[in-house]
Every structure is written in structure tokens, then in C-alpha cells.
Structure 1
Amino acid sequence: MKILLGTGVALITPFKLDLSIDIDALKRVVNFCIEGNVDYLVVLGTTGESATLTSSEKQLVIDVVVEENAGRLPLVVGIGGNNTQLLTEELLKTNLKDFAAVLSVSPYYNKPTQEGIYRHFKTLAQASEKPLILYNVPGRTGSNIEPDTVLRLANDCSNIVGIKEASGDMAQIRSLINKLPSDFLVISGDDFTAYPTVIAGGVGVISVLGQGLPNELSRMIRLGLQGKEEEAFALHNAMIEGMKLIFQEGNPAGIKSILEARGICRPTVRLPLVEASSELKGRINEFMRAFTKIGA
């Protein structure tokens, strides 16, 4: 799975004012990321507001991204939830031919035990024709995938190949890197921990900010993977204010405001999310102006 080293981007789903999917804007986002030298694209993740999309809208997003990407970058698709049986059926019926892997979030709301999490992902692994990447985000799911559970899944399921780790806990991330087989992908799922994860031995990030600042974010990760820690840290430090701002009023309201500032899409989100406040947009615009000067 070396094609998933480096910087992946969790794509937004742009909307028009009437809340329909903005296909032209989605194409612009895809091309902006590709031209910004990111390494792969993630479709229908949390950032893509997949929870608010119908089945037909999800298929539309997939079709647009696959067509616009035209084989230029590897693609990962998000298929996750808290109903194991339904997810198994979805994996069996979904055409995954255009995807390198499936990203699947740990079951949310149910708050399963570690044994429940293990059995959930083992069942999905048996159903998936493509490699599976676990997604651990305790702040959203209400439960944590512990390192020993990840190790158990890595040893027992040959097509579980990595984890997107968004606990924000560097001690846990280091534990994963130290315990897991060397070819198991430990991917930062949090922009804040992307730099330290790579320096600790992780393989990269699935980023939100990376679609607003693709050149800079992907360069930071590349430098980190090359062991050029000082140069990578300088970029991390320059972007850290942007990382804070885009999550201040929820994701993807913040990153959509950055993309609005770049003229790529509208900042529209679907309820229960709301558009970023005028105050936050002002701060984002200030950051972008200052960051452009830093980049120059």
C-alpha cells in the first residue's frame, strides 16, 4: 500500500445555495488538490458531509471525482457506520474498482467494547474486496480503538492495512507505530498531529487543511518523511493558526471558508452544520493573506 504514503486529502462536498451538489466546484477542488501535489484523495469522509448525503448523491460524488481524477491519483472511499450488517451489505454491493482502499470509521453512538470493535472490523474485512483502513476518531464516535485491538486486527485480517488515527494522543500514536507490523500504515487523521506523527515514524496524513493549502501541507509531509525536521516544522508552525481556525466552528465550515477565499467554492454546508460566522471568515481571510506573504 505504498501508494497511500504521504498526504491524502479528505474532500469536501461543495453545495450550491439551494443545497444541491455543486459539480463544477467539486471538479475544481479535485484539480486544485492534484495540482497542489497531494498524494491521494479520500471521497465521502466526514469532511465530505457524507452523513447528510442520500445514496444517489453519494454515487454522484463518486462518479464526478473518479471522472475528474482520471486515474491521476489513488482514491480512497469512506464506507463506515454503526450497523455492521448494513455496512457488510454495502461493501458487497458497492463497485470499488476505482478505489485503492476503503476508509471505515469506528462505530459511533453504540459505544462498543474493544471486542465489539474487533468483531465489527473483522466482519467488514471479510466482506471487502479492497484493503480496509480503520478510522479512529474518539471525539466523534464516543469510543477509542485501543492499540492492542488494532494490533489484533492487523495480525488476524490481512486486508486491514492501516489506521487513520485521530485521537490527538501522541502517546497512543507512538504506541501504534511501535507495536504494529512495519508495513501497517499509521496515518495521522488530525492536521495538528500530522508533523509529529510523521517524525515519530508514521506514513503521512489524511488532511482537511490540505485541500486549502495543498502545496504547503504536502511539502511539509514530504520533508518530514525525508527526515528534514527543521524545514517541516517551519511549515507546520506557519500553518498551525489555519489548523486551529478551520475547526473552530466545526468541520467542514472552516475549510469551506478557506476554499471560498481561494475562489474555489461557496461556503455552504447542510444542516445541522451551519456556515462559518462572519467573524471567523474575517480571521480566516487574515490568516490567508499573512500566509501568502510567508509562502512568498
Structure 2
Amino acid sequence: MQELLGTGVALVTPFNSDKSVDVEGLKRLVEFQINYGVNYLVVLGTTAEAATLTAEEKELVKATIIKTNNGRLPLVIGIGGNNTLSVVAEIQNSDLSNFDAILSVSPYYNKPNQEGLYQHFKAIAQCTKTPIILYNVPGRTGQNVSPETIIRLANDFENVVAVKEAAGNLVQAMNIIQNKPKDFMVISGDDMIALPIILAGGSGVISVIGQGLPKDFSKLIQLGLEGKNAEAFNLHYKLANSIDYIFEEGNPVGIKAMLNKLNICSAEVRLPLVKASEELQEKINSFIDNY
């Protein structure tokens, strides 16, 4: 799965002032990623506010990205949830011909135990031949997928090819890297520790800040993959404040504020999220102006 090596970005869904999907903004966003060195795009992940989109809007977002991308970058589709049967049905009823992999977030709210998590992802892996990226983000789901469960899934199912590891725990990521099957990929889901995870043996990142600063963040990740530690960390520290800013009031609130400053799309989000405060927008504006 060399398609998943390097920098992937979890694309936002731009909105107009009336909260409708901003198709032109989405096209600009895709072109911005392609033009500045991103390696692949994640479509309708959690950063896309997919939970607030109708089925028709999801199809519009997919079609717009597929057409704009025009085969230039690999695409990953986000399909996940806390109702296993519903996730399986969505996968089986979706046209996945344009996508290289499925990114599936672990069940949220239900808080299944490790066996429940295993059985959830087993059902997903068995319903499709499409490669699966597990997504572990306990800060949002309420339950950590343990390294043992991740490695068990990686060993048991050939199409479970990677994990997006966003527990924010470097030791846990290193545990997975140490014990994983040879070709299984550990992808950082946390921008702030993406570089240390890569230097420990990870394969890259699925990033949020990467879509706001694609050129330098992609370069940072590539330097890490090449083992150019000092140069990579210099760039990391140049970017670090922006990573803090974009998560200060939640995701994708902050990154949309940055994209607004960059004239890619508006800062509009859908409830229950609200737009960045004036204070945060000003901090982001100042960072970009001085970058």
C-alpha cells in the first residue's frame, strides 16, 4: 500500500454562508493539496463533518473530489460508525471503484470492550476486499483500541492494512510498530507527534494541518521518512504553534479558520460546531501573515 505512504489529508467540507456545500471551495481545496505536494486525500472523514451531511450531500462531495482530482492522487473514503450492521451495509452499497482504501473510525459512544471492537472490525473486513485503515481516536470515541487488538486484526485479515493511530500516545504507537506484521502501516492521526511516530518506524500521517500548510507539512513528513531528523524537527517547530491553534476550539473549526484566511473557503461549520472566535481567527491570521 505505497499509496498510503507520506502525507494524507482529511479534507474539510466547505460551506457557503447558508450552510450549503460550497462546491467551488471544495474544488479549490483539492487543487491546493495537489499543487503543494500532498500524497493522498481522505474523503468524508470525521474532519469533513460527515455526521452532519445528508446522503445526497455526501454523494456531491464524493463526486466533486473524484472529478477534480481526476486520478492524480490516491483517494481514501471514510466509512465508519457505531452501528456495525449499518457500516457494513454502507460499504456493500457504495461504489468504491475510485478509492484505494476505507478509513473506518472505531465505534463511538457505545464503548465496546476489546472483543467487541475486534468483532466490529472483523465484520467490516469480511464484507469487502477493499483495504481497511483502522482509525483509533479514543479522545473522540471514548474507547481506546488496544495495540493487542490492532495487531490481532492485522494478523487475521489481509485487507486490514493500516491503522490511523490518534491516541496521542507515542509509547502506544511504538508498541504497535514493534509488534505489527511486516507490511502493516502505522499512520499518525496526530499532527503534533507525527514526526516522532515516523522516526520510530511509522509510515506517515493523515493530517489536518496539512491541508492548510500542505507544502511545508508534506516536506516535514518526507524529511522524516528520509531520516533527516534535524531538518525535519526545525520545520516541525516552525509549524507547531499553528497545530495548537487549529485544535484550540475543536476540529474542523480551526482549520476552516485557516482556510478562510488563505481564501480557499469560508470558516462556516455546521451545528453543533460554531465558527472560530474572533480571538482565534486573529491568532491564525497573525500566524499566516508572519509565516
Secondary structure, aligned partner of 1:155 = helix
The offset of 1:129, in angstroms, is: 2.9
Mapped partners of 1:182, 1:197: distance in 2? 16
Who is 2:286 aligned against? 286
Paired AA for residue 22 in structure 2: D
Note the 1:18-167 alignment, pairs <5 A: 18-167=18-167
Offset from partner CA, 1:88-116 (integer Å, 9 cap, x none): 11111100000000000000000000000
- The separation in 2 between residues aligned to 1:74 and 1:65, in whole angstroms, is 11
Q: How far apart in 2 are the matches of 1:290 and 1:18?
A: 32
CA distance in 2, matches of 1:81, 1:194: 25
**Corresponding residue number in structure 2 for 1:221:** 221
Which position in structure 2 is the counterpart of 1:201? 201
Measure, in 1, the Cα distance between the counterparts of 2:80 and 2:71: 24
The letter for the 1-side match of 2:103 is: L
Secondary structure at the aligned position of 2:240 is classed as helix
1:190 is aligned to 190
Please give the alpha-carbon distance, in whole angstroms, between the structure 1 residues aligned to 2:269 and 2:39: 26
Match of 2:244 in 1: 244
**Secondary structure at the residue paired with 1:264?**
coil
Shift of 1:128: 1.9
- Which residue pairs with 1:180 in the alignment? 180
Q: Deviations over 1:242-275 (max 9, x none)?
A: 0000000011110011111111100000000000
Following the alignment from structure 2 to structure 1, what is the Cα–Cα distance between the partners of residues 285 and 87? 40
C-alpha distance in structure 2 between counterparts of 1:193 and 1:257, whole Å: 22
Quote how far apart the aligned CAs of 1:172 are: 0.0
SS at match of 2:56: helix
Query: Matches of 1:74 and 1:103 in 2, distance apart?
Result: 13
Q: Distance in 2 between matches of 1:76 and 1:256?
A: 21
Residue 182 of structure 1 and its aligned partner are, at CA, apart by 2.0
Amino acid across the alignment from 1:213: L
What amino acid is the match of 1:126? Q
For 1:27 and 1:34, the matched residues in 2 are separated by 11
TM-score by length of 1: 0.98
Runs (4+) of structure 1 moved beyond 3 Å? none
1:3 shift after superposition? 1.2
Q: Which amino acid aligns with 2:171?
A: A
Deviation string, structure 1 residues 69-94 (Cα, Å, up to 9, x no partner): 00000000000000001111111110
The CA distance in 1 between the partners of 2:46 and 2:154, in whole Å, is: 24
> What corresponds to 2:230 in structure 1?
230
- In structure 2, distance between residues paired with 1:135 and 1:150: 10
Aligned pair count reads: 291
SS at match of 1:134: strand
After TM superposition, give the deviation of residue 46 of structure 1 in Å.
1.1
Report deviation, 1:285. Answer: 0.8
Question: Any idea what SS the aligned residue of 1:130 has?
Answer: coil
Q: Unmatched 5+ residue regions in structure 2?
A: none
Q: Secondary structure at the match of 1:77?
A: strand
Equivalent position of 1:254 in the other structure: 254
TM-score by length of 2: 0.99
Quick one: distance in 2 between partners of 1:257 and 1:149?
Answer: 37
Q: Name 1:294's counterpart in structure 2.
A: none
SS in 2 for 1:163: strand
Question: What does residue 263 of structure 2 align with?
Answer: 263
Deviation at 1:181, TM superposition (A): 1.1
* 1:6 to partner: Cα distance: 0.0
Letter in 1 for 2:30: V
